[in-house]
């Protein structure tokens, strides 16, 4: 049966199985085009359509309710079940008790005192303290986005400069307690940045949505520092409000419930549990038609919510807050200036006589008795040198297929990128002086 005939036949079966299927099939096709969705087989597409159909019915039922304060939509996650969504789009783990991480760099916030006046509304986006909405992809590293967002905010407030910081550095290098794409906690991220004496920029250490090796030459490029971090007493919305009035704050929430996945606009008030599994950033608060809300910055891209943001109800009946937002909040502290710009990376030394340009990897092209006598250069950091001595591969595509000049994601994994041609290495000027000095 031809592919087009198969597709029509499957859609015909759908129309027989469900009275809703026919009306949703065209919607599904346009949705696939809007979000660039494609599926390997017609069977997979049929299964995704079934999920989409259920989600569409749920969205329609919710939005038809007259008493709801928010709307849902068929966003980029409309072909995922709640369980599928939870497994890839959250990532808050290692929940703590307040004070369990406290040391010389951490403390517990108990309020600013009776004289502190909380403004009626705050929006740190308008103060230039919030970077653009980011997308964690299918990597459970929400904790890193929440942590960098809070550090970006306090850095701008103290220095006047907004710098987008590297989530990937935290994923790759913060391994003592956090687990990269398998989850983590913001306080551990703050502790790591303090111990490392700073964190690199996103521009220099960009996001890959995957676990990787810590790049030692970049981990020492520190553009922003923090002095400590503070935990807010749990279930104290009054203290959380005071903190947000002074800077963006990291919080844990339950972000995996059905309505949260498909949220589109308005003031979200549940239903959702208080089992914390996701991390976001509170960047302000306000009121609308007598209903108070938090301004939440998420890390699911701009197709979710209001261009990546949510209004979440506050001042409700539960001390834990909607989705547990009052249960686990913290923020970094900073008063000291940032370090001076790091000097640009120097050449990569291959041997006493040869080197490669900065940001390159030295690859041996001729080895005798374990001693490399000739070198070439791969124009990537921490690259894999292929045995054919002609090509090299990125570290996240480490398997060389030299017959096809391809780099594979792994053995048995056909995901690939093109191999990279090596270049000649350079001979160090004044090399004879180095030889004489040996």
Residue 338 a catalytic site member? no
Handedness of CA 248, 250, 253, 255 (dihedral sign): positive
What tokens were used for 168?
């990937």
CB 389 within 8 A of CB 376: yes
Q: Phi first, then psi: give them for residue 3, nearest 5 degrees.
A: -55, -45
CA nearest to 435, candidates 366, 370, 351: 351
Residue 298 a catalytic site member? yes
CB 192 within 8 A of CB 174: yes
Q: How far is CA 236 from the centre of its chain?
A: 28
CB 268 within 8 A of CB 313: yes
Extract the runs of DSSP E, i.e. beta strands, from 64-212.
70-72, 106-109, 122-123
CA distance 287 to 234: 23
- Omega of the bond leading into 268 within 30 degrees of 0 (cis): no
Strands 278-288 and 228-232: unpaired
CA distance 157 to 408: 44
What tokens were used for 412?
């048995």
Residue of 75, 178, 269, 278 marked catalytic:
278
Who contacts 192 (Cβ-Cβ below 8 Å, separation ≥6)? Answer: 170, 173, 174, 176, 178
Give the orientation angle of helix 3-17 with respect to helix 21-35, to 10 degrees: 130
Residue 63 a catalytic site member? no
Three-state DSSP state, 265: strand
Say which residue the tokens 């709801």 belong to.
Answer: 68
Q: How many CB atoms lie within 10 A of CB 78?
A: 25
Residue of 142, 173, 377, 378 marked catalytic:
142
Residue of 269, 298, 392, 407 marked catalytic:
298
CA distance 180 to 93: 11
Q: Phi first, then psi: give them for residue 244, nearest 5 degrees.
A: -65, -25
The total number of residues written for the chain in this structure: 438
Give the catalytic positions in this structure.
142, 278, 298
């Amino acid at each position: 049966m031809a592919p087009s005939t198969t597709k029509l036949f499957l859609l015909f079966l759908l129309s027989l199985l469900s009275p809703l299927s026919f009306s949703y099939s065209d919607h599904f096709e346009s949705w696939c085009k809007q979000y660039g969705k494609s599926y390997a087989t017609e069977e997979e597409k049929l299964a995704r359509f079934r999920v989409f159909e259920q989600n569409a019915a749920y969205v329609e039922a919710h939005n038809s309710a007259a008493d709801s304060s928010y709307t849902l939509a068929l966003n980029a996650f409309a072909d995922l079940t709640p369980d599928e969504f939870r497994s890839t789009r959250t990532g808050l783990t290692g929940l703590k008790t307040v004070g369990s991480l406290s040391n010389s760099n951490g403390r517990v916030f108990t309020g600013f005192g009776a004289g502190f006046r909380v403004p009626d509304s705050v929006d740190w986006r308008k103060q230039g303290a919030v970077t653009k909405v980011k997308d964690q992809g299918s990597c459970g590293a929400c904790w890193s986005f929440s942590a960098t967002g809070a550090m970006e905010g306090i850095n701008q407030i103290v220095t006047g400069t907004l710098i987008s910081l590297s989530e990937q550095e935290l994923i790759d290098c913060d391994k003592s307690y956090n687990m990269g794409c398998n989850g983590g906690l913001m306080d551990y991220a703050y502790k790591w940045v303090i111990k490392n004496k700073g964190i690199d920029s996103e521009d220099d250490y960009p996001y890959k949505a995957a676990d990787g090796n810590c790049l030692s030459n970049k981990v020492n490029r520190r553009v922003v520092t923090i002095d400590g971090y503070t935990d807010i007493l749990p279930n104290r919305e009054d203290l959380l409000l005071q903190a947000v009035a002074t800077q963006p704050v990291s919080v844990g929430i339950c972000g995996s419930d059905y309505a949260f996945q498909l949220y589109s606009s308005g003031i979200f008030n549940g239903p959702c549990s208080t089992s914390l599994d996701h991390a976001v950033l509170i960047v302000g608060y306000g009121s609308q038609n007598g209903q108070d809300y938090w301004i939440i910055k998420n890390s699911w891209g701009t197709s979710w919510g209001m261009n990546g943001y949510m209004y979440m109800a506050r001042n409700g009946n539960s001390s834990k807050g909607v989705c547990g937002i009052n249960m686990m909040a913290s923020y970094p502290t900073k008063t000291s200036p940032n370090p001076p710009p790091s000097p640009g990376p120097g050449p990569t030394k291959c041997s006493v006589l040869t080197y490669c340009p900065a940001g390159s990897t030295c690859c041996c092209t001729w080895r005798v008795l374990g001693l490399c006598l000739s070198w070439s250069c791969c124009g990537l950091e921490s690259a894999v040198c292929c045995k054919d001595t002609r090509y090299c591969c990125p570290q996240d595509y480490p398997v060389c297929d030299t017959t096809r000049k391809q780099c594979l994601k792994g053995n048995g994994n056909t995901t690939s990128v093109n191999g990279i041609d090596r270049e000649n290495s350079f001979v160090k000027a004044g090399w004879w002086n180095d030889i004489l000095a040996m």
